[in-house]
Amino acid sequence: MPKYDPTKMADWQIAEAAEADMKTVYQLAEEMGLEKMELLPYGHYVAKLDYMSILERLKNKPDGKYIEVTAITPTPLGEGKSTTTMGLTQGMGRLGKSVISAIRQPSGGPTFNIKGSAAGGGLAQCIPLTDFSLGLTGDIDAITNAHNLAMVAATSRMQHEFNYGDDILASKNLRRLNIDPRNMNMRWAMDFCAQALRDMVIGLGGKMDGFLMQSGFQITVSSEVMAILSVATSLADMQERMNKIVVAWDKQGNEVTTGDLEVGGAMTALMARTINPNLLQTLEGQPVLVHAGPFANIAIGQSSIIADKVALKLADYHITESGFGADIGFEKFWNLKCRFSGLTPNVSVIVATIRALKMHGGGPTVAPGKKLDPAYTESHPELVEKGIDNLVAHIETVRKSGVNPVVCLNHFYTDSDDEVAVVKKAAEAAGARFAVSRHWEMGGEGAEELAHVVMEAAEEKPHFSFLYEDAEPLKTKIEKIATQVYGADGVTYSPVANQKIKKVEADEELKTLGTCMVKTHLSLSHDPSLKGRPKGWTLPVQDVLTFRGAGFVVPVAGDIRLMPGTASDAAYRRIDVNPETGKVVGLF
């Protein structure tokens, strides 16, 4: 691959230049050992894979090594998990290894807002960038439509029950559900950061214009439908889960599900194609599966179980990405995704940057769109040392699971040798292997050290175990996560949370489900202003959501919303189309 200079070229410019030489999906499929009908092309450079055919054909083939990528608590700029995932994939590829990675499809919210498309960066990216960033094969659109169809079914039923008597409902073969408009479990979905739609009143007008009620929107990737795509193991499993989604409660406090509304089948029909993973590639031509979505702070935030199972059959090494830091993304990978999949990971790569460690050590504020303080581009090993406790906390979390940790220092060209030495010493003292990776600047060549260390760690047998058992009470599960992963002294519960937890414990199915925490990604605690490794704090659980279809309950900690907001200097201001070539410019 040509060597582009990422210090002088934007990510989209590097991607555009590299795309001129990228492999077709037909070349990728041949290299992966796929049969002709297992490839479902969407043009020449993107495809879906027929997961059922692949898994059936290769059911007796041993799985490859399973590698997860997580991170320390990030700055608002992110610390490069996707970039590291691409770089490690390229690094292993340069060493002649059979390797596939899986990352999550970006949400339109951050793509058009601040964080960008999450394709990686510099010389470690997933391409084609425009397809990846702008809708891909339509999975998120299908999730939006399936989610909103459930809300259409609920709100139209409320209108008809309000307007018609039991005799008319019976003539239409409908039973009265008596949905309580003040007790909804779902809102509408949109895949943008639209704070103006968080809270609203719908149904204004006459009696044929809907049911008058308070409602609002959540971002699509926080939808239970997205969670189901992430954890489903087959179309039949997806269909069963889709009919279990709790849309609301009736006026007697009983659940009203998508099955009760007779909409789960139609939702599954909208989702049927999404269950096949999407195939793209790295800048250096290794296969990348893109499936399910981001936001581990407000969702499960994992690439899909199906993508992982397919890749483990097709390659000797499979690298999968989890959202945000190990307190959120890895914890959910560990206690939810691995529980559902039955897969045991060999290695977890913890991505760290000098920049983030300096922030955790008391460095100046890091904010999107603002120039970094010189403290982050000049050598200050003492500031790195002060922030190292955050890294140690994440190493300890991974080690609790029994998975072998590898700390990857995602190297910035401004990092000094003295600063790197501080991180290496701390990582190894905490029981992790350590590697410096310069993939952003050098691509796969710069990730060879990381690749060697990860492959060495993968040969060591993990001693994997879950943090909690299914049968433990919900409060016990929450408190184990809060104290043993986040470092809290304990947990407090609002009256609403306590009431909902009692309902969970009274339900034989719900009380055995997993626990998918919602909290800020910007701190180990619930408070984004608390950096480093906070001490002497208590986790406040404000609410508990029910995701019966996905298979977990969702405690909500602190002040966090399922619909983010768009900033004043949003990315959409710089995205455009070259009218001469038709190519999109300005993505990052």
Please, are residues 524 and 515 in contact by the beta-carbon 8 Å criterion?
A: no
Q: Tell how strand 200-202 and strand 213-215 pair up.
A: antiparallel
Residue of 48, 65, 81, 519 with catalytic role: 81
Q: Tell how strand 255-257 and strand 213-215 pair up.
A: unpaired
Average pLDDT over residues 515-523: 95
Task: List strands edge to edge, sheet with 255-257.
Answer: 179-184, 246-250, 255-257
Residue 464 annotated among the catalytic residues of the structure? no
DSSP 334-381: IIIIHHHH----SEEEEEE-HHHHHHHTTPPP--TTSPPPGGGTS--H
- How far apart CA 111 and CA 84 sit, in angstroms, is 19
* DSSP 8-state assignment for residue 512: G
- Would residue 321 count as lying in a domain? no
- Would residue 323 count as lying in a domain? no
Structural domain of residue 515, as residue ranges?
A: 474-557
- How far apart CA 341 and CA 345 sit, in angstroms, is 11
Question: What is the structure's pLDDT at 2?
Answer: 47
DSSP 388-429: HHHHHHHHHHHHHHTPEEEEEEE--TT--HHHHHHHHHHHHH
- Would residue 357 count as lying in a domain? no
Work out the percent of the chain whose per-residue pLDDT is above 70. Answer: 99
Q: Minimal CA–CA distance to 98: which of 108, 107, 89, 106?
A: 89
Domain boundary among 248, 263, 278: 263
| pLDDT, tens only, 154-213 | 999 999 999 999 999 999 999 999 999 999 999 999 999 999 999 999 999 888 888 899
pLDDT band for 323, please (50, 70, 90 cuts). Answer: confident
- Would residue 537 count as lying in a domain? yes
Residue of 70, 73, 75, 83 with catalytic role: 83
pTM of the complete model: 0.95
Question: Is cis: bond before 128, omega within 30 of 0?
Answer: yes
| pLDDT, tens only, 206-217 | 888 888 999 999
Residue 412 annotated among the catalytic residues of the structure? yes
Please, are residues 490 and 538 in contact by the beta-carbon 8 Å criterion?
A: yes
- If DSSP codes are grouped into helix, strand and coil, which group holds residue 121? strand
- Would residue 369 count as lying in a domain? no
- How far apart CA 216 and CA 563 sit, in angstroms, is 9
Residue of 211, 324, 547, 552 with catalytic role: 324
Mean model confidence pLDDT for the chain: 95
- Would residue 217 count as lying in a domain? yes
- Would residue 384 count as lying in a domain? no
Residue of 412, 464, 512, 567 with catalytic role: 412
What φ, ψ does residue 209 adopt, rounded to 5°? -105, 20
Residue of 248, 296, 315, 426 with catalytic role: 296
Q: Minimal CA–CA distance to 551: which of 224, 299, 255?
A: 224
Question: What is the structure's pLDDT at 370?
Answer: 82
Q: Minimal CA–CA distance to 123: which of 228, 252, 287, 13?
A: 13
Within 396-515, strands assigned E span 404-410, 433-437, 490-493, 514-515
Residue of 112, 440, 547, 588 with catalytic role: 440
Q: Minimal CA–CA distance to 526: which of 478, 559, 567?
A: 559
- CATH number, domain of 250, equals 3.30.1510.10
Please, are residues 149 and 263 in contact by the beta-carbon 8 Å criterion?
A: yes
Residues facing 100 on adjacent strands: 318
- Conformational region of residue 558, where left means phi above 0, alpha means psi within -120 to 50, and beta covers everything else: left
Average pLDDT over residues 346-367: 96
Q: Which long-range contacts (CB under 8 A, 24 or more apart) does 197-206 make?
A: 197/563, 198/561, 198/563, 202/155, 203/155, 203/159
| pLDDT, tens only, 24-77 | 999 999 999 999 999 999 999 999 999 999 999 999 999 999 999 999 999 988
Which DSSP helix (H) or strand (E) runs through 144?
helix 139-163
| pLDDT, tens only, 380-425 | 999 999 999 999 999 999 999 999 999 999 999 999 999 999 999 9
pLDDT band for 1, please (50, 70, 90 cuts). Answer: very low
Annotate 513-525 with b (16+ C-beta within 10 A) or e (fewer): bbbbbbbbbbbbb
Structural domains in the chain (count): 2
Residue located via tokens 């955050």: 390
Please, are residues 125 and 15 in contact by the beta-carbon 8 Å criterion?
A: yes
Domain boundary among 210, 241, 263: 263
Please, are residues 303 and 321 in contact by the beta-carbon 8 Å criterion?
A: yes
- Would residue 487 count as lying in a domain? yes
- Measured in residues, the chain has a length of 588
> Residue 69 contacts by C-beta under 8 Å, 6 or more apart in sequence?
81, 84, 85, 88, 319, 320, 321, 322, 348, 349, 351
- CATH number, domain of 521, equals 3.10.410.10
Residue 211 annotated among the catalytic residues of the structure? no
Question: What is the structure's pLDDT at 33?
Answer: 97
Residue of 104, 187, 386, 548 with catalytic role: 104
Please, are residues 297 and 518 in contact by the beta-carbon 8 Å criterion?
A: yes
Q: Which two tokens stand for residue 133?
A: 């960033």
**pLDDT above 90 for 9:** yes
| pLDDT, tens only, 238-247 | 999 999 999 9
Q: Minimal CA–CA distance to 200: which of 209, 183, 185, 188?
A: 188
- How far apart CA 307 and CA 310 sit, in angstroms, is 5
Residue 324 annotated among the catalytic residues of the structure? yes
Annotate 25-53 with b (16+ C-beta within 10 A) or e (fewer): beebbeebebeeebbeeeeebbbbbbbee
Residue 81 annotated among the catalytic residues of the structure? yes
Average pLDDT over residues 284-302: 92
- How far apart CA 116 and CA 174 sit, in angstroms, is 46
Residue located via tokens 């499979």: 318
